[in-house]
Amino acid sequence: MPTKLSLVGMKSKINGTIVKVNIDLDDYTTLVPVFIPDLDEVRVFAQRLHEQGQPWQGEIFGWNAGYNPGSSEPPLASKMLFTPADFWIGDGAIWFFAMMWENGNDKPPLETIYDKNLVGDLAI
């Protein structure tokens, strides 16, 4: 069961960038402004979850997100010797950022970002 993370001590103001995103609809494409959080703040949040070592799923920085702690059991149909901890935020069709502790819980995580549909900063 996912747990709640205390946000005590976190900034009340979120830093980030508003960007334009291509959204393909049935008969046309439109540009939509979307908030992308500062990745350093996302990393701090993910690291706090990782230190707690408890599953979490919810919303943070305006996006769905989740954390799964690592396990000594290998993933199904994998040559890996254990299941690494992972954190993700975003939507795979718009923008997505993930961290995976593939080299062990005490090593820096590998990061993946999907931003193919981002087309630039919003002119304000």
Residue 51 is classified by DSSP as: H
Would you give per-residue pLDDT tens digits along the chain (124 residues)? 343 444 444 545 779 989 999 888 888 888 889 999 999 999 999 999 999 999 999 999 999 999 999 999 888 888 888 999 999 999 988 999 999 999 999 999 999 999 988 887 666 5
* Per-residue confidence (pLDDT) for residue 10, from 0 to 100: 52
Distances 15 to 39, 90, 98, 113 between C-alpha atoms, Å: 9, 16, 18, 18
Residue type, 31: L
Q: Average model confidence (pLDDT) for the chain?
A: 87
pTM exceeds 0.85: no
Residue spans per domain, the chain: 38-115
Strand partners, 57: 66
